[in-house]
Amino acid sequence: MKIKNILLAAAAVGILAGCGEKKTEAGANHPVKIAMVVKSLGNGFFDAAHTGAREAASQIGGVEVIYTGPTTPSAEGQIEIINSLISQKVDAIVISANDPNALVPITKKAMQRGIKVISFDSGVAAGGRQMQLNPSNAELIGEKQIQMAAKEIGGKGELAILSASAQATNQNTWIGVMKKTLEKPEYKDLKLVATVYGDDQSDKSYREAIGLLRSHPNLKAIIAPTTVGIVAASKAVADEGLVGKVFVTGLGLPSEMAGHVKSGAVREFAIWNPIDLGYAATYAANEFVKGKAKSETGASVSVGRLGSVTLDANGEAALGPPFTYNAENVEKFAKLF
């Protein structure tokens, strides 16, 4: 009884002394609120990242994950959502950005209000976040996709890229690497004839893929550096009766690609573990909320069961290399993501 009174008194003093709103809010009775803002809802890749976010939250304890995003991948939709998250006084925002620059003013506003902002997957420009977590090294991801396409078509012929939205930070970075890679002498017989954008919407991606196939009759490969685009391109190739003539590759989820590997529209594709990516981004966000991580070049940030990552001069860090999937292993991984 006595102890209880002392605790109550101490708590009262704490409040009267103005212990800080944040402390009270993030205290024992109030979980740390981490909002995961994805490019758009209904994308299996982000559903897997959400699974990882929930895993991090339950491992850490006292963390509530708010999973949200616009219905179509636009910066405007994300800005509206972030405005509302600022009003809700979340502790951190973990975002995969639809545009590197358009989001900076609103994420800066969030940071000014004490909200930690971590971008993951598709980055916000350096001034608008504490840290960017890349799934892997951008050079590796870009080069890998050219290597896979070259292998499938014997190093010779026309290829096209079916991307996500035109402003997506991650896809644009990888496309930049792909174009540079194509300048290497070993790829001199590969010709990039078009780059189109399906906005990570199944129907638009499908229409764009059909458009590519019809306007480029000599096309040999479509590279889709998006899990939504690669499914749509595979379906378009099958529907046009071009399996064995046009090969699709890029970045896909084994769970969504197994059927297309079986049909022969795809021989090989790559991806990293999206569950791990969502887990690591959420874990890192909590480290910033708790004041255990610093937004500085060379700073080490713990990412829980995955160890730690180190921030480069641009405030970016990367997880491991992507994996390659084909007929031999796709079914096994299809059970995971």
Which positions touch ligand RAM (CB under 6 A)? 39, 43, 45, 96, 121-122, 164, 170, 200, 226-228, 251
Compare residues 178 and 293 and give the one whose CB is closer to ligand RAM: 178
Least Cβ distance, residue 248 to ligand RAM (angstroms) = 14
DSSP H or E segment with residue 55: helix 44-60
**170 vs 273, which CB is nearer to ligand RAM?**
170
For 240-305, the DSSP string reads TT-TTTSEEEEB--HHHHHHHHHHTSBS-EEE--HHHHHHHHHHHHHHHHTT----STT-EEE-GG
- CB nearer to ligand RAM: pick between 274 and 304: 274
- Residue 243: phi and psi, rounded to 5, are -60, 130
What Å distances lie between residue 165 and 47, 50, 201, 294, 325, CA to CA? 19, 21, 9, 31, 25
CB of 164 to ligand RAM, least distance (A): 4
Tell me the C-alpha distance between 205 and 202, whole Å.
5
- Is the CB of 63 or the CB of 253 nearer to ligand RAM? 253
Least distance (Å) between residue 61 CB and ligand RAM: 29
By C-beta, is 42 or 264 nearer to ligand RAM? 42
d(CA 224, CA 321): 18
CB of 226 to ligand RAM, least distance (A): 4
Q: What one-character DSSP code corresponds to residue 124?
A: P
In angstroms, give the least distance from the CB of 135 to ligand RAM.
Answer: 7
